[in-house]
Amino acid sequence: MRSEKAKVLEGVRTFGPDKARRDVVRAQYGARKKIEPYRGAANVAPDSATETYVALKLTIDSWRWAEVPFYLRTGKALAARRTEIAIQFNQAPFALFRDTPVERMTPNDLVLKIQPEEGMTLRFSAKIPGPSVNMDGVEMKFNFETCTSSCSSKNRHGC
């Protein structure tokens, strides 16, 4: 397992200047409610350029992960602490129901929640009950702490 993890890390495509400008965001938090700006914190220089947030898109050079983007985000003093893995599946080339525009359907994704709440959420498109063919996004949630699941639609159509 260790050697396979090492292969993945070795396959991370390096950043050139153009790719860094396109795929990396760096920032420093400023003043917000109950939070002083980073440059106002003790032991921080008033002209500090140290980043407190970074978001980047990684790609891995391997047949298994070809064309699969990995997005990493981390930072200090964010509004919420959260660790999760979000997987967005490729859109099908055509829809099950005739005349349904695929590009307007809700993307299918699976979010595995690791911290602070353990659980998962699955989002996908489903037909709204009734005689006409109308699609809407559906979200199914499972929370490990309470061992409950729920299903809802963003437009309250039910599942």
Same domain, 71 and 141: no
Q: What is the pLDDT of residue 128?
A: 80
pLDDT one-digit tens code per residue, 80-111? 888 988 888 877 666 665 666 656 667 788 99
**Stated pTM of the model:** 0.66
Same domain, 59 and 102: no
Same domain, 87 and 17: no
Q: Domain range spanning residue 86?
A: 80-159
Same domain, 133 and 89: yes
Q: Which residue has the higher pLDDT, 99 or 79?
A: 79
Q: What is the pLDDT of residue 56?
A: 93
Q: What is the pLDDT of residue 95?
A: 60
Same domain, 8 and 71: yes
Same domain, 137 and 71: no
Q: Identify the domain boundary among 52, 77, 102.
A: 77
Q: Identify the domain boundary among 24, 52, 77.
A: 77
DSSP-derived secondary structure for the chain: -HHHHHHHHHTBPPP-HHHHHHHEEEE----BTTB--GGGSTT--TT----SEEEEEE-B-SSTTTT--EEEEEESS-SS--EEEEEEPPPPSS-SSTT--GGGSPPPEEEEEEESS-EEEEEEEEEPSSSS--EEEEEEEEETTTTEEEEEETTS---
Counted domains in the chain: 2
pLDDT one-digit tens code per residue, 18-52? 999 999 999 999 988 888 999 999 999 999 999 99
Q: Identify the domain boundary among 37, 59, 77.
A: 77
Burial 48-68 (b: 16+ CB within 10 A, else e): eeeebbeebebbbeeeeeeee
- Residue 156, pLDDT > 50, answer no
Same domain, 43 and 67: yes
